[in-house]
Copies of this chain bind each other. A is one copy, B any other.
Amino acid sequence: MSMTRERINIPVEKLKWMYETMVKSRYYEDVMVEAYNEGKKPVFNIGAGPVPGEMHLSTGQEPAAVGICAHLTKDDTVTSPHRPHHHAIAKGVDLNRMTAEIFGKVTGLGKGKGGHMHLFDPEVKFSCGGIIAAGIPHAVGAALAAKKKGKDWVAVAFVGEGAANAGGFHESLNLAALWKLPLIVVVEDNAYGISVPKSGSTAVASNDLRAAAYGIEGAYVRNNDPIEMYLASEEAVRRARNGEGPTIIEIETHRYLGHFQGDPEMYRDKEEVPNLRKIDPITKIRDLMLSEGIATEEETAQIEVRAKKDVDDAYHFARESEYPAPEDALKDVFSS
């Protein structure tokens, strides 16, 4: 993490926004873990409790989301995979309706039909899905639509490092490069695809190297650093808006929790996560802001209170909302 003022060549407001958004995202998942575990103790049962089904948390991976979303407006598109909370929050998805969706409520973004892996907020052009690499083509399409409309909007597709070995990754990048579309693929290298380490899935050390296969730019961001992510993204977004085509940004990031909740994690060392938590990006950015005099203790406390209040409000909204009527299952297959 950049430790001197001169390296922090990013606007103070952006830095604070990134901090607040990371705090919000982290706290959001703390709250979700608890809700998820309700009804799942003493015996874990994936289908029990108020939040059933799979739950993939992004705790530790916040820098990837905030570093690039700091450059986006609601006209820009974001597609996200099965691990979407940090992206959704950074993109400004309606937190109340997102949370209600995860609780399966009728007030949710998808009226309870989608759930945690299927959040759609067209207001801020956010979507996610549960099939690896499948969101990249959707971002290509959004980028194509922007070009056709003559707008300088960009599209960002987030994927995990495991997804970079799926055919759709290749097809999409070739197409976007060929058509010089404003696409940025952000590869979150959290070292694992479920249990498989990157070295067991990927023939190259990092996916920015694959930019060579499309004649485009690639960047690798080390150390889960939100500031470096911000800088790499700034350049990629600028190029995209200028009609200079796509970029691959890979960021080294850290998955503190299991692949999904309930993952026994037999495949990794018990020391790994505690060590990662010691270099947590949220703590680091906070310390940095304080040590560099960018924010005072009071300000960071205020930020934290505000972020948590948003989450708490969303949580209460979700819990207090109604379930859909069972027979509503038959609606929304087709619109008329």
Is A325 at the interface (CB under 8 A from chain B)?
no
Is A98 at the interface (CB under 8 A from chain B)?
no
A213 touching B216 by the CB < 8 A rule? no
Is A130 at the interface (CB under 8 A from chain B)?
no
Is A201 at the interface (CB under 8 A from chain B)?
yes
Which residues of A pack against B, CB within 8 Å? Answer: 165-171, 173-175, 177-178, 200-205, 209-210, 212-216
B-side contacts of A213, CB under 8 Å: 203-204, 209-210, 212-213
Query: Smallest Cβ distance from A135 to chain B, in angstroms?
Result: 15
As for how many copies of this chain the complex holds, the number is 2
Most chain B beta-carbon contacts within 10 A, residue among A170, A209, A212, A215: A170
Most chain B beta-carbon contacts within 10 A, residue among A175, A203, A212: A203
B166 touching A178 by the CB < 8 A rule? no
Specify which of B168, B169, B175, B201 is in contact with A178 (CB 8 Å cutoff): B201
B-side contacts of A203, CB under 8 Å: 173-174, 177-178, 213-216
B-side contacts of A209, CB under 8 Å: 212-213, 215
B-side contacts of A178, CB under 8 Å: 200-203
Q: How far is the CA of A258 from the CA of B212 in the complex (A)?
A: 32
Q: How far is the CA of A171 from the CA of B170 in the complex (A)?
A: 9
Specify which of B166, B171, B202 is in contact with A166 (CB 8 Å cutoff): B171
A171 touching B177 by the CB < 8 A rule? no
